[in-house]
Structure 1
Amino acid sequence: MNNIQQNKLNKILSDKTSGSSEIVNKINNLFITNVNELAFIKKSITILKANLDHFAAVNSYLKKLSKILKLNNQQLIDDFLNSFTTEELNNFDIIFNKLYKKNYWINSIITISNSRTIFEILKLWKNENNKLKVVITESRPANEGKILAKELLNFGMNIELISDAMSALYVPKVDAAFIGADEILKNGNVINKVGSKSLALLCKENKKSFYVLTTKSKFSEHTKYSVKKVDPSRLWNYKSKGLTVSNIYFEEIENKLITKIITD
């Protein structure tokens, strides 16, 4: 593995703002540019499995690619990598059509964090409804909501960015909530960016639909989820006697709070 390859791989490993679908897309693009470097691809798979095993979509992708690599057929490897993006876009179309068919009347939604699935679905929605308004929470501490807002603004979307704490003021005003997912547990519960459960509870209280939009790659065999604390300095880089800073990125949303999980 040369320095350029190592740097590009490290950039993916240190990505704390992209959703899992976008991370998989970045991995696939890295492998496409190194399609003839099978030793690099195999070593990268080992490293990615060790560091990103908490992402169901990443695990699903790496598992499929590993099976193809074992066949030692360069053409099959090329075909898999080159067709991946097209298949992903087709999956987003399927999700959109299922959602839009019964919810065409929706003119405003609220969402959280930065999800490629949500991004692609909202682009398709705008093609059908140019008046769609999207409310996005900033999604602290990494502010992924700002990233999604910028991307959607490039497509002329009507965006309102709010603080996470303002969600209770905005849920009553919108027609529904859309979120992506990092993992779907076997019991139907969803793992997503912290703040998603608060949004689900607010939707329940205000009788608003709460939709989870995700590809089948997010479904896992896991039956439970353990909350993991991450680097507290990302929230507040300050130390003092008696102070504990807790930073949690992901949480579990119970299936009973979800209107429907819509997938390809």
Structure 2
Amino acid sequence: MNKEEVRQLLNNQSSKLFDDIVNSRVLGANNHIRMIGEIMLLTAEDESENGKSVLYKVREIARFFMETRGQQSRAIYNAICYYIKGLDDLENAGEREIRERIATRINAYGAEAAKDMDTLISYGVHIAENLDTIMIFDYSSTVDRFVAELGRKRTIYIPESRALDGGRPFVKTAVEAGHEVHFIPDTTMLVALKKCQAAFMGAETVYPDGTVFNTVGSDILAILCRQIGIPLYVLTPMIKVDTRPVYGYNRLSPMPFDYGPRLAGAWDTEAKERVDFRGIKLLEIAPEYIRSLITEKGIIPSSAFFHEAMEYARFLEEV
């Protein structure tokens, strides 16, 4: 099913969540995992649908997001797999059992993810304990919570990340947490970074070799950090590990994106038609640019990540 066909399966409340994801009105893989779970829960709770219809719709929702967002964010793919595990056993089950089983899986994932996130954030706060000035780049719900829980006042530089408007969502949290906030053009990152003691960003996907897949501009920040000797930390739950490259699968390709609406929204139609605004949305950051990955398993140097990644992948197969 394409985007419009899947949208037609949803009620009004679910449709809004669906639109927020596919139109990038809400950013962050963790947010999208939660919202996809909510869409499935709302579908399972819809009393106008019978059990067979609920199963069909949940499967189609899962398939759509696994083939779209899930192809560029392994966390989303892994979480959806967790949500729908066991659905094939419900073909002959009663309506109540179908609804309850779906709700149980989604709620169980949420409880485990919340516990893991608490641990991850505690490690991040610990590593930033003696840092007074930091930079955070491109929206990540994990980094956003890290900023909220830093405790004492810090000076925080937030590049605007103009391509995807990924800096602005950080500002509200940082201000409300009482930090001194500098919201700057992303083209001035180098000047600001020289005032910082460390930089932090999130991740869409992480490979066992420590490679991080994240939004455009992350590579620029990584190169700048290495050039001037500033540590770059990536905050990421282990659910974002993608082990497929270990077994010979193709690595993720850069995610295409049309920047026309963002860069030329006010242009006249004739001018826009003569310019190509196609680019990419996500890209790789090599492990040598990253000081450590901050996860629920600990603060792990990128060079030492392989063992933890493979152990976690085996754990996922069991749950």
TM-score, reference length from structure 2: 0.74
| SS of corresponding position for 2:134 | strand
Would you say how many aligned residue pairs link Structure 1 and Structure 2? 260
Which one is further off, 136-145 or 33-42?
33-42
Consecutive aligned runs of 4 or more in structure 1 exceeding 4 Å deviation = none
Aligned match of 1:47: 64
Equivalent residue in structure 1 for 2:78, among 40, 45, 60: 60
Correspondent of 2:88 among 66, 70, 73: 70
Per-residue displacement from partner, 1:76-125 (whole Å, max 9, x unpaired)?
Answer: 43233224444333222211233344442012210111100101122221
- Structure-2 separation of matches of 1:24 and 1:226: 21
Please give the secondary structure, in 1, of the residue aligned with 2:280. Answer: coil
Instruction: Say which is worse superposed, 205-214 or 146-155, in terms of deviation.
Output: 146-155
CA contact (8 A) 2:84 2:105 kept: no
Specify the alignment match of 1:93 in structure 2.
118
Secondary structure of 1:230's match?
strand
Which residue is 1:213 aligned to? 235
3-state SS of 1:95 partner? helix
Report if the CA contact (8 A) 1:234-1:247 is conserved. no
Q: Which residue of 1 aligns with 2:299?
A: none
The answer on whether the counterparts of 2:205 and 2:242 sit within 8 Å (CA) in structure 1 is yes
The TM-score with structure 1 as length reference comes to 0.88
- Equivalents in 1 of 2:295, 2:63: separation in Å? 28
- Percent sequence identity over aligned pairs: 21
2:287 matched residue in structure 1: 255
Check the 8 A contact 1:24/1:58 in 2, yes or no.
Answer: yes
1:18 lines up with 2:36 in the alignment:
no
How far off its partner does 1:255 sit?
0.1
The equivalent of 1:9 in structure 2 is 18
Deviation at 1:248, TM superposition (A): 2.1
* CA distance in 2: counterparts of 1:193 and 1:187, whole angstroms: 19
8 Å CA contact 1:92, 1:120 repeated in 2: no
**Is contact 1:177-1:209 (8 Å) kept?**
yes
Query: 2 CA distance for matches of 1:252 and 1:213?
Result: 16
Tell me, what secondary structure is at the counterpart of 1:192? strand
Gaps of 5+ in 1: none
Q: Which amino acid aligns with 2:164?
A: A
Distance in 2, Cα, partners of 1:153 & 1:9: 29
Higher Rg: 2
C-alpha distance in structure 1 between counterparts of 2:168 and 2:179, whole Å: 14
